[in-house]
Structure 1
């Protein structure tokens, strides 16, 4: 029996289930099927019953005892029975084994818990990164149902999220994910496909080198760049890397050079060395700058020394100096992070002629040399840095820091206290501040509202550390040179002149930055000024300012919240000077004081 007409009728009845059975009355689509059903009913009674049932359904009056809903249900049950008994279930095409990829992943979490993560993976908008990173930390991605959405997130428009999936989530699935990724990616595709190649390279290891090599040779530019990186250190592919280092695209050559740098073969090192004499000098230098060790360093130092000799020969004409400096910059880049005897000698020679190179404007080389030699330490290093220091104030920090490590506190003071004005004095003050304290940002709970806010945290050398490293005369020097933050760190109890000076500076500088406030606050504490007196100084300073602040920094605000209720009227009098966040903060403090009084 043909089921074509029956299936057409089933589709129309399903439509009425959705649209509503009342719409069946007079339905022209059903009316069109009645003659065909009745005609077939002459040979099979069941068709006649179906035809009569359809006819009754489309002609039913609204007030009939058997409403259309009941008739629709009975007709559908009859039709379903016929279809189930008369339909064909044997496959029409050739059978074969179902494609399957076994995955060793459970489905242990509830759908409710996974829904938020799946929505974050498959949608766009803010807040998704935090949801996904937390889900990874909680182990939710080990549930099989998140595997495919996670792969799709490699194409997320938010690059940071896509990279997180690439670097953390997908590699955790191990080699079992590789067949899925191969079926998913297109080596001629874009950045998302390049990320998939990186995952394969990361979890597949040597077993996938052939595929990685194919992607590196035949893929799109981003795919090739990612694939080439995973052939680094594989001597079997050095020939391919050498070929790609001559590619017409600069990004491909850069990736090839980076991979060659991981190889210890002579051919690879020769190619990198050749790049220094051609258009890819900067690419090769960048690659070597990211490596702690390189077999080429000694040879490159020798070549750089020859460039310095050329510079001294043409110092008067100066025509060739720009090209010499361009080549030298590449050598200096390649030396970054290295430490070999040849480099020690090279940088010491540079510092010996520091005044000459400073005159040429090659200050970058002098800073590199001073930094390197200062880290090596020793008497000769200190002598060279002190010599360089005389060339310009910008080099003072290197000799100063090494002097603190090598010389007695009194000797350091005798030398550097002579800088009492100008650029040398200003640089010395800045360097003293960097040595005496450090500051970092961190998040604090917002005391006057919901959420969090940034605040500064200052780490100041302890009095014992200061006594071991600094001559006590630095305090008097700092006050005489108006270096308030230096004086604050070095302050001591019982010194009336220091206390008066710091109180005066506190009133003028406390609002400049949270770092200034914190250092001066600790300075007054070290000078023996109590907390109540310091908080009074804050209020007095605010009263002395004509213009209010946009907001009170975290620690200043926290100290204001510790004021007793007796300050309520004084703070209320300040309110008309403040707007924005500062006004809200003052309201919070005043309201808190009112609650205490109640």
Structure 2
């Protein structure tokens, strides 16, 4: 029997129901189906009944056509209901359930924004995913396919967030979907799936990881090599991959061998460091926790130094490059290797024949390593470098001395060297500024002054004498004679309110409780052109918050004259908050009033 013929007849019957049965008499489209129905009716009598009913409708007068159309439709519907199939081709197979432990209690309205973010393109999607993550609405059975599908998203931050945050919390419920979606010949998204499967199931997917390493695409191969670094029985495979032609594969294998840390792995990494392109293995060696490797590199570096001192021409250049590779490999493990590495570093920095122009990169790396050793003996040697080679290593010497000398000894020894614009003075100034910066950012947020008692009090006057205003601002303390006068002099040269140095100086004057600081700030605010205020620096906001309430009226006048509406509104909010501040907050110094105003404006 022909289902297609029955469906065609059903379509014509529906058409006549819509058009009206009165139009069925002699209908050409229905008439064309009758011969086919008669022919099939020779084998199946029910089709002959359909043909009779169709002819009855075609020849029926208008008054009886509705009854005939209903008879044809009823018979056709009964026949169609007998033609459906409930079985499928093939043999039954078990299916793996996905995430049945997750709930489906949320309404689709709640899920829709997250599903849209996971399955479409455009801005704001990552923020939506973060919100869904915080609300825990992603822990729903219905969104697992979309979440796993987002591992292929072209906007890198989306799959990274899904991989790092969402799927690990979904847990085992995501495994079936990840397995189904995994293509060993795929790209970055499939590499993420492989890593997640291993993260969730460990050794249960080890064979799959091995298969990806043997025959997967480049992305899958790299992921598999990374994962196999924890299995000693994969040593031969990793050694083989470390000799692969493709650079990416070699580097992945180096990292895996560094993680493995077996004698053969260490030997291969050492061999790679000696080969052409040895810089490719430096980061992997740094990541290796087996100090036996680094101790062997120290021995090799010592021998390479001897070669450098004996060779000339291209051979010397090659030897210097190799030595540079060795020294860089030791970075990150200096303190652990202090006893073994110090003799090498001493020899490097104490051999006058080596302190020449073509070895400067090696010298600087060795000096960095010396500081990293962080031992008493190493720092003592660093201090000895103070005046050697025309004070070439004075910056490193100063860092070592800061750790070992008293504050008085440090100043007495190095203060004179800070003066001037010589190369050694600039090197020392840079080292000093670097130390200060590390102290200012110690807690993650930038401070404005070095810790109390961290430096000799004489430094601030030396910096003022040398015109080093930024350091003066960091070192100034309440009661330092002459420092307020020095700082205020820096505001008299057409100071611009949003200039970095101006803000630093004003902040320092407020910090050391200089009496005239509020008036200086107000005077600068008055003197600026209305277009000078194109943003409100956080330091400026803090200082305005510290002004007396009596300044509020004039501050409002200044705000009204600002050209940029956003800055104007920000300034007015500050003024209003200052006016509303309780008297006890307004009378505080430091952060009290500022914290109150921040809460008021939030």
Instruction: Please give the TM-score of this superposition, normalised by the length of structure 2.
Output: 0.79
Tell me if 1:551 matches 2:535: yes
C-alpha contact (below 8 Å) 1:121/1:150 kept by paired residues: yes
Find the residue that maps to 2:446 and give its secondary structure: strand
Distance 1:441 1:32 in 2: 90
What does residue range 170-209 of structure 1 map to in structure 2 within 5 Å? 170-174=167-171, 177-209=174-206
User: How many angstroms does 1:288 deviate by?
Assistant: 0.5
CA offset digits 1:336-391 (Å, max 9, x no partner):
211322222212222323x6544234333333333333341325523434415654
RMSD between superposed Cα atoms in Å? 4.1
In structure 2, the residue matched to 1:525 is: 510
Distance 2:116 2:68 in 1: 42
In structure 1, the residue matched to 2:5 is: 5
Against the structure 1 CA distance between its residues 389 and 136, is the aligned structure 2 distance closer, same or farther, given a 3 Å change threshold? Answer: farther
C-alpha contact (below 8 Å) 2:37/2:48 kept by paired residues: no
What does residue range 463-478 of structure 1 map to in structure 2 within 5 Å? 465-466=451-452, 468-478=453-463
CA offset digits 1:505-563 (Å, max 9, x no partner):
2455665655x456434421343224xx4343234335556782543323314544765
Tell me if 1:564 matches 2:552: yes
User: How many angstroms does 1:30 deviate by?
Assistant: 5.2
Distance 1:183 1:226 in 2: 18
Tell me if 1:154 matches 2:151: yes
What does residue range 205-284 of structure 1 map to in structure 2 within 5 Å? 205-284=202-281
Distance 2:456 2:380 in 1: 20
Find the residue that maps to 2:186 and give its secondary structure: coil
In structure 2, the residue matched to 1:421 is: 420
Distance 2:329 2:394 in 1: 25
Distance 2:3 2:163 in 1: 51
In structure 1, the residue matched to 2:102 is: 106
Distance 2:560 2:135 in 1: 49
Find the residue that maps to 2:356 and give its secondary structure: helix
CA offset digits 1:113-164 (Å, max 9, x no partner):
2221112111112211222233234433332212211222121111232233
In structure 2, the residue matched to 1:538 is: 521
Bigger drift between 105-114 and 517-526 goes to 517-526
User: How many angstroms does 1:413 deviate by?
Assistant: 1.3
In structure 2, the residue matched to 1:452 is: none
What does residue range 289-438 of structure 1 map to in structure 2 within 5 Å? 289-314=286-311, 317-338=312-333, 339-340=336-337, 341-353=339-351, 356-375=353-372, 376-378=374-376, 381-387=379-385, 390-391=388-389, 395-418=393-416, 419-423=418-422, 424-436=424-436
C-alpha contact (below 8 Å) 1:254/1:284 kept by paired residues: yes
In structure 1, the residue matched to 2:571 is: 589
Distance 1:73 1:537 in 2: 98
**Structure 1: segments with no counterpart, 5+ residues:** 443-455
In structure 1, the residue matched to 2:83 is: 87
Distance 1:90 1:566 in 2: 86
Instruction: Please give the TM-score of this superposition, normalised by the length of structure 1.
Output: 0.79
C-alpha contact (below 8 Å) 2:38/2:47 kept by paired residues: no
C-alpha contact (below 8 Å) 2:259/2:289 kept by paired residues: no
CA offset digits 1:222-253 (Å, max 9, x no partner):
21111111111312111122222222222222
C-alpha contact (below 8 Å) 2:309/2:354 kept by paired residues: no
Against the structure 1 CA distance between its residues 146 and 426, is the aligned structure 2 distance closer, same or farther, given a 3 Å change threshold? Answer: same
Find the residue that maps to 1:458 and give its secondary structure: coil
Against the structure 1 CA distance between its residues 587 and 100, is the aligned structure 2 distance closer, same or farther, given a 3 Å change threshold? Answer: closer
Distance 1:298 1:592 in 2: 61
Distance 1:175 1:459 in 2: 46
C-alpha contact (below 8 Å) 1:155/1:192 kept by paired residues: yes
Bigger drift between 361-370 and 186-195 goes to 361-370
The number of aligned residues is: 559
In structure 1, the residue matched to 2:142 is: 145
Against the structure 1 CA distance between its residues 173 and 498, is the aligned structure 2 distance closer, same or farther, given a 3 Å change threshold? Answer: closer
C-alpha contact (below 8 Å) 1:190/1:222 kept by paired residues: yes
C-alpha contact (below 8 Å) 2:395/2:430 kept by paired residues: no
Distance 1:475 1:219 in 2: 63
User: How many angstroms does 1:410 deviate by?
Assistant: 1.6
Bigger drift between 170-179 and 224-233 goes to 170-179
C-alpha contact (below 8 Å) 2:222/2:248 kept by paired residues: yes
User: How many angstroms does 1:321 deviate by?
Assistant: 3.0
Distance 1:429 1:14 in 2: 92
User: How many angstroms does 1:21 deviate by?
Assistant: 5.9
Find the residue that maps to 2:266 and give its secondary structure: helix
CA offset digits 1:469-495 (Å, max 9, x no partner):
322222221211112232233333345
What does residue range 450-489 of structure 1 map to in structure 2 within 5 Å? 458-461=446-449, 465-466=451-452, 468-489=453-474
CA offset digits 1:383-406 (Å, max 9, x no partner):
434415654777444332332332
Against the structure 1 CA distance between its residues 517 and 207, is the aligned structure 2 distance closer, same or farther, given a 3 Å change threshold? Answer: farther
Against the structure 1 CA distance between its residues 426 and 143, is the aligned structure 2 distance closer, same or farther, given a 3 Å change threshold? Answer: same
C-alpha contact (below 8 Å) 2:118/2:147 kept by paired residues: yes
